[in-house]
């Protein structure tokens, strides 16, 4: 079910992104292919610049020219200037790196964010009548297409899928170490002793379950495994416990008090050794992956106590009692 939900969310995200991209292309939001008339000033004469050799320059843009290019209803109060770097590609064209600053108009800033260049907006420039220090030049911003869709697929799905693989590979060795240690503890009888120590508590938490019933043993083993961070071992024990608890259920299909209490404890179980969290921190490069032991023990203890109190109080509510007592 969870996989279906994720698939639906991903499909909706891709559909919405594609729709937004199609809309942006239909109104030409990023002015793809549209030229903007500018004045280009260089420190050295344009005729002295060599091909493929970058040089500093300043772009001077008239407010009315920019208004027409950007499709704005109102023009800027005055023109603006942008610093840049020009690289000639031939006699009549070149590449421009337009550096971002406080004067950069919002549309250019948005395009810059999509291009993801380091501090500059990428564009090309042409001189219809040949390079001239006083003549106009035509500026064309590099086209932007399907940026929303690329953000979801390349920057989202593919990027985080790569991170997931790297993290999973890093977890293998650490998880093998912890699970091996826990297996030794299990073979040495540590979990069985811990389960014995919990019997007194579980009898009070589950008064409706006979002490010698298989459900009680499965629940104790599940809680013990969770205490030591053995999530993989705890899962089948939890399923077995629910199966046995259902045998004591007088009304199949309606969860009993014991089922609800066990589910709360299983979900919010106290963690003495959070092996999975420690392994994830170590795989992510944490300097001290075990420093979270204290906060984890405190947080999970409070979490479990609050959960037990809430489930016991809700079990006394008439609306839930009537549901259980219906024949």
- Are residues 118 and 230 located together in one domain of the fold? no
pLDDT given for residue 131 in this prediction: 66
Res. 327 pLDDT band, cuts 50 70 90:
very low
What's the structural domain count of the chain? Answer: 2
User: Within a domain: residue 234?
Assistant: yes
Q: What is the mean pLDDT of the chain?
A: 80
pLDDT for the residue numbered 224: 77
Q: Are 109 and 230 in a shared domain? A: no
Identify whether residues 198 and 315 lie together within a single domain.
yes
Give residue 253's domain range: 189-325
39 Cβ contact partners less than 8 Å away, ≥ 6 residues apart: 59, 60, 61, 134, 136, 137
In this structure, is residue 221 part of a structural domain?
Answer: yes
More confident: 212 or 131: 212
Strand ranges (DSSP E) for the chain?
A: 36-42, 55-61, 80-88, 93-99, 120-126, 136-141
Q: Does 286 fall in a domain?
A: yes
* Domain endpoint, select from 80, 115, 143: 143
Cβ distance 88 to 50 under 8 Å? yes
Are 134 and 193 part of one and the same domain?
A: no
CB 32 within 8 A of CB 143: yes
For residue 43, is it within any domain?
A: yes
- Dihedral angle computed from the Cα positions of residues 238, 278, 201 and 209, in that order, rounded to the nearest 10 degrees: 0
Say yes or no: 138 and 193 in one domain: no
Per the model's pLDDT, the better-predicted residue between 12 and 180 turns out to be: 12
Q: Flag whether 250 is in a domain.
A: yes
Distance CA 65, CA 88 (A): 24
pTM beyond 0.85: the answer is no
Give CA separation, 33 vs 96, 99, 124, 147, 258, in Å.
15, 21, 11, 16, 69
CB of 130 closer than 8 Å to CB of 92: yes
pLDDT tier at 85 (50, 70, 90 boundaries)? very high
pLDDT in tens, 196-206: 777 778 788 88
Same domain membership, residue 260 and residue 198 = yes
Q: What is the pLDDT of residues 141-191, one digit of tens each?
A: 999 888 888 877 776 677 777 777 766 676 566 556 655 665 676 677 766
DSSP state of 89: -
Both 109 and 200 in one domain: the answer is no
The CA distance from 204 to 202, in Å, is 5
Spatial contact of 61 and 82, defined as CB atoms under 8 Å apart: yes
Residue 141 has a pLDDT of: 92
In this structure, are 197 and 129 located in the same domain? no
Confidence grade of residue 83 (pLDDT, cut at 50, 70, 90): very high
Query: Has residue 175 been placed in a domain?
Result: no
- Determine the pLDDT at residue 123: 93
Stretch 10-34: mean pLDDT: 88
| Residues 193 and 139 occupy one common structural domain | no
Q: Say if residue 323's pLDDT is above 60.
A: no
Locus of tokens 């629910």:
242
| 229: in domain | yes
Any idea what the Cα angle at residue 21 is, between residues 16 and 25, rounded to 5°? 150
Whether 136 and 39 have beta carbons less than 8 Å apart is answered as yes
Residue 265 lies in a domain: yes
Whether 207 and 104 map to the same domain: the answer is no
């Amino acid at each position: 079910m969870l996989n279906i939900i994720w698939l639906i969310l991903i499909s909706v995200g891709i559909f919405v992104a594609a729709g937004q991209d199609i809309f942006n292309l239909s109104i030409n939001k990023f002015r793809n292919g549209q030229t903007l008339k500018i004045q280009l000033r260089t420190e050295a004469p344009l005729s002295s610049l060599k091909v493929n050799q970058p040089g500093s320059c300043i772009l001077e843009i008239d407010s009315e020219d920019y208004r027409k290019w950007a499709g704005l209803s109102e023009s800027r109060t005055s023109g603006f200037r942008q610093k840049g770097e020009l690289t000639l590609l031939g006699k009549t064209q070149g590449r421009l790196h337009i550096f971002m600053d406080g004067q950069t108009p919002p549309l250019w800033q948005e395009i810059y964010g999509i291009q993801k260049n380091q501090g500059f907006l990428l564009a090309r420039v042409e001189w219809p009548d040949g390079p001239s220090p006083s003549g106009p030049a035509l500026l064309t911003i590099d086209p932007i297409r399907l940026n929303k869709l690329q953000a979801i697929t390349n920057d989202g799905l593919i990027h985080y899928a790569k991170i997931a693989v790297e993290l999973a590979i890093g977890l293998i060795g650490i998880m093998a170490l912890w699970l091996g240690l826990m297996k030794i503890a299990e073979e040495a009888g540590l979990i069985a002793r811990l389960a014995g120590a919990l019997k007194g508590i579980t009898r009070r938490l589950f008064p409706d379950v006979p002490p010698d019933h298989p459900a009680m043993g499965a629940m104790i083993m599940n809680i013990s495994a969770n205490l030591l961070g053995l999530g993989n071992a705890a899962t089948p024990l939890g399923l077995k416990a629910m199966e046995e608890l259902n045998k004591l259920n007088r009304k199949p299909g309606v969860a009993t008090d014991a089922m609800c209490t066990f589910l709360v404890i299983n979900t919010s179980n106290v963690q003495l050794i959070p092996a999975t969290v420690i392994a994830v921190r170590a795989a992510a490069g944490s300097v001290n992956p075990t420093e979270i032991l204290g906060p984890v023990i405190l947080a999970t203890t409070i979490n479990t106590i609050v959960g037990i109190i809430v489930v016991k109080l809700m079990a006394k509510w008439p609306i839930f009692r009537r549901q259980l007592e219906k024949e």
